[in-house]
Amino acid sequence: MLTICFAFGTPEAGAATCPAWVLPAATPSTTTPPSPATTTTPATTTTTPTTTAPVAAALIRASSLPAIDADPRATLVGARTAVLAGSLQGSGTTVTAEYWQTGRDPSCTRIQVSDGNRATFSLAGLRPSQRYLFRLVVNGTAGTATSSEGAFVTLPAGVIAEGVTIGGMSFGRLGRVAALAKLNRANGGPIRFSYAGAYWHVLPSKLGAHVQVARAIANALDAAPGQTLPAPTMSVESLKLRDYVTSLARRWTHEPKQAQVKLVGTHAVIDRKQSGVSVDKPRMTAEIESELRTGKRSQLQLAVKKERVSAVAQAKAVVVRLGSQRLTAYLDGKPILTTPVTTGRPALPTPIGSFKVQFRASPYVFHSPWPAGSAYYYPPTPVTWAMEFYDGDFLHDDPAEPSDAFGSDSQNGYFASHGCVHVPHDVMAFLYKWLPVGAPVIVAQN
């Protein structure tokens, strides 16, 4: 196996006096080599030197010496460290990377033993914003050989080394301010929610999230080129998160409702049977915490549980609307039948109010409460079905009223009642069987 020695940090950890077999190979150039082919400017400054990938070194094939190839694509540079890579062909030889600044004595990396694999060389103790030259040197049974020279420029102080990642995100070549902004954007994005057509978002801080962003950036500034760092430490204040989930429950929870037909003023109000909803607080808490800790920003659907209406007899009711001269039958708040009717004449109007079926009979004979000779007197009148809802006022059929006489404005016509509600024959046959004693009868203007 090829032994690879990584050395990050101080000169003592990675820089060393070159071994004797390096010196005869060639004397490092004391003149500035040609300008590198490509340069890029660090993201945090426009006034500092640029970083240059090393010049590809020529392959050396001498006797039993391994071939050396400096790979510029694998080179990573920091402010005080750099990582070089070389592809070696052959085995049983020792190899080092020699590096220097123009006019200064060279240093070497720790020696590696080649078995024909790729080798990585770590350069430490470098100076920020400085140009360095380097070459690879191998020592085999046939002697010593070197690659051609390459060059790179270290990053300015306070800039994260190339290839450094935090939680899988690249932060190489970013200064402290830019890195903090990027990490804050990644970890400070709002948590998004939706439910029943509503959409909203909440900042992580409002949910009790605390992210050690500054510490993560400090670690990145100290990291070696290519180093992989974990995502910043996240803590969640459970009390704050629980309070927010409780606020969601207060907003969205509602109790189940039974169907109801009622009179408000002179208007009929119909409430249908409705299941209740309760927020699933344990599930919602777990989903929000997972979103915070993983950094995901998917849209969370509010977790709810349905609360069914308690089992009771189906709610039956009828509503008579005087303005339109219509009657509607409701089952659990849903209309199942609507028919035109005729109500009381202007002098004897059908009373507006919330009533109940008090009595019913089939057949039934009406007797006039007014004496003969009164303008309101009528002879005994038999009907097939009659259901009393208020002090002598009934829902009933009227054999004498033709079917086309019911409906709008009929309360002002010839067949207007003395306060009862005339219902077409076939509809009254249904209502008599369907509507029990005690069922609501609502008389409304509209």
DSSP code for 92: S
What integer pLDDT is reported at residue 94 of this predicted model?
Answer: 84
Taking only the tens place, the pLDDT of each residue in 117-169 is 677 888 989 999 999 998 888 887 777 888 878 889 999 999 999 999 998 99
CA distance 438 to 358: 6
Dihedral sign for Cα 285, 287, 288, 290, please. Answer: positive
What integer pLDDT is reported at residue 68 of this predicted model?
Answer: 59
What integer pLDDT is reported at residue 59 of this predicted model?
Answer: 31
CA distance 128 to 114: 31
What integer pLDDT is reported at residue 312 of this predicted model?
Answer: 57
CA distance 161 to 172: 5
Q: Output the CA–CA distances (angstroms, integers) from residue 80 to 57, 130, 174, 222, 308, in the order listed.
A: 23, 9, 15, 10, 68
What integer pLDDT is reported at residue 52 of this predicted model?
Answer: 35
DSSP code for 231: P
Phi and psi torsions of 105, nearest 5° = -65, 145
pTM to 2 decimal places: 0.52
Cis peptide bond N-terminal to 363, omega within 30: yes
What integer pLDDT is reported at residue 67 of this predicted model?
Answer: 59
The packing angle between helices 238-252 and 281-294, to 10°, is: 130
What integer pLDDT is reported at residue 141 of this predicted model?
Answer: 77
What integer pLDDT is reported at residue 148 of this predicted model?
Answer: 79
CA distance 14 to 17: 10
**DSSP-assigned states of every residue in 119-142:** EEEEE-S--TT-EEEEEEEEEETT
CA distance 405 to 417: 12
Question: Which stretches in the chain have pLDDT values below 50?
Answer: 1-14, 26-27, 29-64, 70-73
Specify which residues 191 forms β-bridges with: 202
Long-range contacts of 51-55 (CB under 8 A, 24+ apart): 51/77, 51/152, 51/153, 51/154, 51/155, 51/162, 51/173, 52/131, 52/151, 52/152, 52/153, 53/152, 54/84, 54/134, 54/150, 54/151, 54/152, 55/148, 55/149, 55/150, 55/151
What integer pLDDT is reported at residue 46 of this predicted model?
Answer: 31
